[in-house]
Structure formats: C-alpha cells, structure tokens
Structure 1
Amino acid sequence: MKIFHHPDQALHAPTHEFHNGALAPHAEVPGRIANILAALGPTQQPGDAGIDPIHAVHSPAYCAMLRDVPRLWREAGRAGEAIPYAFPVVGRRPLSLTRVDALLGAHAMDSVTPVTPDTWAATYGSAQAALAATRAVLAGERAAFALCRPPGHHAGPDYCGGYCYLNHAAIAAQSARDAGVARVAILDIDYHHGNGTQDIFWRRGDVFYASLHADPATDFPFYWGHADEHGEGDGFGTTRNLPLPRGTDGAAFRAAQDRALKAIADFDPGLLIVSFGADTWEGDPISAFRIATGDYRGIASDIAAFGWPTAIIMEGGYAVDALGTNVAAFLSGF
C-alpha cells in the first residue's frame, strides 16, 4: 500500500487548549505522527497540487484567516497561540472584521483548536497527502493511506474546530468528483462525529456520508451526529449517522459498521474515503470505546471485502505510544 505523508505536518505544535473550564496541555501533539511513522516504515512525500482543490471545499476567506491570524495575533501584542473566545452562534453573516479575536471567532467552533504560526503549513501538507492518496487510488491502486496530521473531519467549509483546520477527507472526496467519479462515499470511523464533513456535503446527493461515533448526547461535538440527521435537499438520504454508547466493543462496532457499509453499497460509489480515527481504542485518553488493537484488522477487512477503491485518511487517536501499532493493525486489513 502506498503511504503519503508531508514533513510539515510535524510543525504544528500547540501547547494548550481551553477545555473543561481550564487551560490544559494540548492532546494533538507532533509525537502522534512520529509514532505512526516509526510503525509504518517508508512513506512518500506528496507533490503540491496547489490551493485550488482546497478552495473547492473551503472558502478563500477562511484559508486566508488560517494564514493571517498568527501574524495578526503577534501584531496585537499577544503571546502564545491564537485561541478564540467569542463565537457568532446567531446571525452569522459576512462582515469586514479587523480585530483578530473577531476574525478568529467568526471562523471557529471551539476553544480547543489554537492557530499557530505553523498550522497552515501542517494542514496544507496534510491536504496534499490526502490528494496524493486519492490520485493513487484513481490511478489503479487498490488502497492508499494519507497520514494526515492535524486531523480534519471537524473542519467545516469556513470554520475550524476539534483540532481540525482543513477537512482532508472532504478535499479528497471533492477532488475525486472533479476527476469524474460520479459518486463518492465517506465512511467516518473516528470516535467523534465528523461534523465538518457532514456539513460540507449536507445538501449534496453525489457524496454519501456515513459515520459511526460516540453518541453526541454524551460526547463532542454534541450538536451534530444524531441519528435523525439525514441531509437536506438533493442530499436528503445521503447522510447516515450511527451513534454508539460509551463502552462499545469491537464486536458491536463491527455490527454497526456492517449497517453503514450496506447503506454505502446501496449508494454504489466509485470510490470510498475512510476517515480513520484510532481514538476508538480502549486506552485512548479522551475517548470511551473498548476496541482492542486486535479488532482493527477485522474492522478494516470488513471494509476491504466490498472491493471499493479506497483512500484512507488519518483522523484522531491520542494514546501516542500505542498509535502506530493501532494504525498498522488497521492497515493490515487491506
């Protein structure tokens, strides 16, 4: 299997997040990617496909914010990473904003996703890895893996959140559509619901989004991922959410995934994107499923059995020391 990774992904290194009422050490650390690389061996550096595939998903104004906020933060005399504190939850509309706090809050959904001077380079490199993996699959590879970091599935068309800045899975899916694939499916098997991916394709009938995740009644992102969310307009019926209770083990997860895979089969995609998060592992520090390392091969094998060309995009997973072993176990199922 071809594996793509960009060295700039290690540059993004926020120190803190504002979580549960206090500043806490940031859980999404560069060591995540180092541990995975040590377990997987050689990777390929992706070429640069440019900004256009990113702008096909994310607004230019939002991308400019990710690039400009670190400079504006310093010019405002601020130290550390840029963390928003005010959010336009009602009456959100285009405004010409100059204060950095207003600009940042207009494009964010939480206070756990700081923007650092290296955020843009890292997430841009991840987007290029996702695009390279997708191109490899469209060129005939059975499956390819994009080792993306920071993750992406919480990022919406013009907002960041949940440690995510660019939605690499959505960028990959849109690039496949632009390359002529009539129908693309995304299977999201991270512990948390991929609200950004759902939001991007909510009204689209050409991209099917299926997600298995912790019940948002108890877990982040809370406001998306409920079972009664099905899409709107042309996209009605192309969103399928399967929220699961805390404590879900490998067998229960595979049973739920089987329902998602059958729904995807009915959609008959020409390409599958898998948003894979290893934060479903039983020892993850911010999650509460009971999936063992030995379960991951079977979970992946169930997906591979359907025979779809598959681009696998790395999402979450915060038990750093076990991350590489869990990712390797999953990829072995392909």
Structure 2
Amino acid sequence: MATHRTKLLIIGSGPAGYSAAIYGARAMMEPIVVQGLQPGGQLTITTDVENYPGFRDVVQGPWLMEEMKAQAEHVGTRMMWDTIVEVDLANGSPFRAVGDSGDEYIGDALVIATGAQAKWLGAPGEQELGGKGVSACATCDGFFYRGKRVAVIGGGNTAVEEALYLTNHSDDVTLIHRRDSLRAEKILQERLLNHPNISVLWNKEVESFAGDPLAGGLTHLNLRDTVDGSASELKVDGAFVAIGHSPATELFKGKLPMDDGGYLLVEPGTPKTEVPGVFAAGDVTDHVYRQAVTAAGMGCMAALDAERFLANLEIDTDGHAHAAESAEQEAAE
C-alpha cells in the first residue's frame, strides 16, 4: 500500500476526467487520475463517433479515449489503475480517497468525474447487439438510422424526447411503453401523440432483441403484451433504450448534495459543489445533455476552478490547507 499526493486528484476517466487532467497538468498541478472500473467511460463501449468536434471522418469511441488519455499523460498526468472505494471530504482540503488496492490518494483539490451509465432492460440480445442496432443515446446514434425504422423503449421524459428527436432522421418511429399512459411532462406527451411520424405501442414489453451481431445487426423486437400476455414482433433497424441513467455517485452519498436522481448538485453554471475545492464534471452532474463534448467542457471548467481554488490556499508543513490571507489582512495585523 502506498500514499499518492497531488495538487489535483481526479476520480474518473471519461472525457470530463481526461480534460480536467489535461488542463490541470498544463497548469502545473501534477494531477493524478484514478481511472476506475471503466477507463475511458461510456465512449469505450461506443463504436462510431461522428459528432465530436475536430474529426471530419467517423472515429471510434475507444480510440478517442485512448488519444485523450495519451494527451493527458503527455503533459504530465499520472494515471492510476485503481477504483476508489472510500472518500473523506468532511475536513476540507486536502481530500483523502482510498482505492480498492488499499492505496491512499490525497489531493488539495478534487474533481469528481465518475460519469453515469445508461439503465438497460437486461433482455436477451440487448448486450450482444449493443452498437449494432441497440443504443441508449438517440442524440449520439440517431444519425445512423436516417430513413430507417426505429423504436424507443420507455415512457418518461427521456423516452419521449428521444422519440421526437429521432423524427429528424426517420419517418417511422415507434414508442414502446409497458403501461397505458406516459410519465413524461404533458407538453411533451402532446407533441409526441400529435406527431405524424410517431406511433405508440401501449402495454408492451421487450422480451428480446433479435438479429445477427456479425451480419446486419438488429432486425426485430420480440414483444409481450403486459395485459393479456400475447406475443408479437416489431421489425426495426434500430432500438433506443430510454429508461434513464444511473450516475455513479454512491461513493458520495451523505457527503455531497444530490438531486432526486442521484446527480451531484453544483452551483449553476459552474462545476463547484457545496464543499470548497471539490468539483463535479460530466455526466455525474449532468442529466440533460450527456454528451462527450459537454463533459469535456465541464472537465476544463473544473480544472480552471481548481487552479483558482489552489491559488487561494496555503499548505502548512503538516500538509493541511487553509485560506491564504490577503495582503490587506496581513498589513492590518
């Protein structure tokens, strides 16, 4: 077991974490990134990425994350293969975290970039056809289904918004909901129900996703009626699971404020949490946009705010941080 000390500790390694590391390293904060269970985040399970700025041609999600990681390392970031299992924020800076390895990580400022994961149905074929007709992000992948038949599974705001968005690419969108009424906001329901290119299948559950992962991908969904139990089949080229996301915030329960969905609360327009020196960036605090580019932007903001935070700290010989006194305060004394 070892102790690792840094000015900037970053937990999580998707676009938010890597961007925070790049900016933090360039600001001479010598960041440490604890990469977690899924280094690179959700983009490592995304194949074609066509909407990240700077790339004219389609790039692969895992490749993009490897490039971000390499860039962060190139400018001075230390990458740690560990998963944080305990954090101590109660005493302020410096902040302490313990990894699954038993190693201890101490940072004068902390960026939380642990991300969120889409909730999945767990139905047969879902995992095998992921990225081959099955997706959890219409904004990310809807473009690939131009002129094709698509389905959205869910009944909340996310599902309705995804279905409406997909009409930009397809004139054959089906919303599948296991109940006979939607949970989405009324105004969204009205838009959906009045849209000529959207049909709704009520009281239906997806029993399985069918197709060949190696040739052609998804071909149809096997459905079950939740009222009478009858089986049916829906031919589609793409299916979007929209039953919500789960932010990776279990580690911070009782230590940082969260909303009802478990997302970390920050000061509006900033990555600042309630605890000075602790910042949240990316999907761990964003349930609206959830894009790689917005996560990267928030990572940049977190690093810049961390730099400003550290500029106002003094670290004593015992390694404890406290607010630096201004020149005026010193003169008054």
Q: Same fold (TM over 0.5)?
A: no
User: Larger helix proportion, structure 1 or 2?
Assistant: 1
Report the TM-score when normalising by structure 1: 0.31
User: Larger strand proportion, structure 1 or 2?
Assistant: 2
Work out which of the two has the higher radius of gyration on C-alpha atoms and give 1 or 2: 2
Report the TM-score when normalising by structure 2: 0.31
